[in-house]
Structure 1
Amino acid sequence: MSLSFFWSREFLTNRYFLWLLFWCNALGTVYGYIWYGDQLVDTLEKQPLWQIVFVPDSPTASLFFTLSLLWILYKPKSQWVNRIGHVIQALAVVTSVKYGVWAISIIFAGWSQGNAAAWQDWMLIASHGAMAIEALLYVRFFGFRWVALLIAALWTLLNDAMDYTYDIYPWLPYTLWDHVDLVRNFTVVLTLLSILVSWLALRQAKRS
């Protein structure tokens, strides 16, 4: 058995593997929201209620991907349900790539500024790396097109605007507190690159 089998359609769309991936992502999503617990409480105490939806970035990206797997497992007959699914799939790809790379980059940036490494950092690096990789692996099995991708792009850019306008961005390592402007600029550039990568991956998927 060659290594290429593990990213083949036969392996990646096997229902047993899809269910395994679904539950891994579902549990990771729940853990992610728990991880954001203190920031969610802090936001509810200090910010308007409507801003809460923009706080838990990575868990929401993971939630989008988890839901996207259901559209592979159970293909809806309704056109409208499919359209909703396509938007969720586009959001899954853009946000998983963006926040997967973002979290890893911020951890390494914090280390470079003197933040002490902890075992949780390695866990986050592994889990967020997996987020980005699985999104790019599964884009070819998703049914979204450029309209859904545009909606996902606008939502992700809106999320950036909310994060850095109202200071509800993910809490940073203390060594980066004086570099929020640089983090903001990096985040917006990363969003644009994630949109571009998602579009290129979608084009490649349509050719294959």
Structure 2
Amino acid sequence: MKAVALTWKRDLLMHRPVLWLLLIVNALGTFYGYIWYGTQMAYTVETQSAWQVIFVPDSPTASLFFTLSLVFLLFPRLIKPTMAGIAVRSIIEALGVVTSIKYGIWAVTMIMASGAQGDHLVWEHYMLTVSHLGMAIEAILFARYMVFGRFAAFLALVWLLLNDTVDYTFFVFPWLPDVLENDLSAIQSFTMGLSVFSLLITWLMIAFRKVKV
């Protein structure tokens, strides 16, 4: 009975209408996310070095990589099964999963932390909470269906730690509510720790690929 339930869930997740729905939702979310970060990206280009702008839109970039990963699931022959093709797909998928877990959890935590310290939460905060929780959950669920391995996931961690270092060295991290400004040191530590945690969760999900259902 358990095997039947697991098989049904697997088939549901990989059903093409489900994949198409998630692809559309993630693509729209990615587009909205870059609009959301538009002001900060423009400010970064105007006031700091232009190369730092790539490190500003964390969540949309994570969503972009995951959207591309869904494209690979829908069209597995899109990239030729050569060593180079598999390497490119693996890195994109690893970035999509590891960064989506990290920034999904991070955004929700920051929203809840700001609310706990007296920030007034509006409907947009709750919308962002739901959407970012969705980012993390879908990344965890779909990691087992992708081709990337532990090393590609580790490379995603390297990118995250580089991103974290740039964010808190040059102050290009996502703009925080005023109530969290005094907690910047703790947020930095939490952010970098969450990068490692996201890798560990990803490695755990990779291990589930060995489970036969």
Instruction: Please tell me the TM-score bracket, short chain as reference.
Output: over 0.9
- Unaligned ranges ≥5, structure 1: none
Matched residues in 2 for 1:7 and 1:30: separation?
Answer: 32
Match of 1:60 in 2: 61
Match of 1:169 in 2: 173
Specify the code of the residue in structure 2 equivalent to 1:32.
Answer: G
Match of 2:158 in 1: 154
Specify the code of the residue in structure 2 equivalent to 1:15.
Answer: R
Distance change >3 Å, CA 125–CA 188, structure 1 → 2: same
Specify the code of the residue in structure 2 equivalent to 1:141.
Answer: Y
Structure 1 position 147, deviation (Å): 1.8
Equivalenced residue count is 206
Kindly indicate whether the alpha-carbon contact (under 8 Å) linking 1:6 and 1:12 is maintained by their aligned counterparts in 2.
no
Specify the code of the residue in structure 2 equivalent to 1:78.
Answer: P
Structure 1 position 73, deviation (Å): 1.1
The 3-state SS of whatever aligns with 1:8 is: helix
4+ residue stretches of structure 1 with deviation over 4 A? Answer: 4-7
Q: What is the correspondence of 1:1-208 to structure 2 with a 5 Å cutoff?
A: 8-75=9-76, 76-79=79-82, 80-208=84-212
**Relative to structure 2, which stretch is displaced further, 127-136 or 75-84?**
75-84
Identity %: 47
Matched residues in 2 for 1:26 and 1:62: separation?
Answer: 8
Structure 1 position 9, deviation (Å): 1.9
Matched residues in 1 for 2:174 and 2:8: separation?
Answer: 32
- Unaligned ranges ≥5, structure 2: none
Matched residues in 1 for 2:8 and 2:91: separation?
Answer: 24
Over aligned residues, Cα RMSD in angstroms? 1.6
Matched residues in 1 for 2:180 and 2:7: separation?
Answer: 38
Kindly indicate whether the alpha-carbon contact (under 8 Å) linking 1:7 and 1:137 is maintained by their aligned counterparts in 2.
no
Distance change >3 Å, CA 17–CA 5, structure 1 → 2: farther
Matched residues in 2 for 1:14 and 1:40: separation?
Answer: 37
Matched residues in 2 for 1:123 and 1:148: separation?
Answer: 31
1:19-55 alpha-carbon deviations (Å, 9 max, x no partner): 1110110000000000001101110111111111100
TM-score, normalised relative to structure 2: 0.93
Matched residues in 2 for 1:132 and 1:90: separation?
Answer: 13
Kindly indicate whether the alpha-carbon contact (under 8 Å) linking 1:140 and 1:206 is maintained by their aligned counterparts in 2.
no
Specify the code of the residue in structure 2 equivalent to 1:44.
Answer: V
Structure 1 position 205, deviation (Å): 2.2
Structure 1 position 77, deviation (Å): 2.6
TM-score, normalised relative to structure 1: 0.95
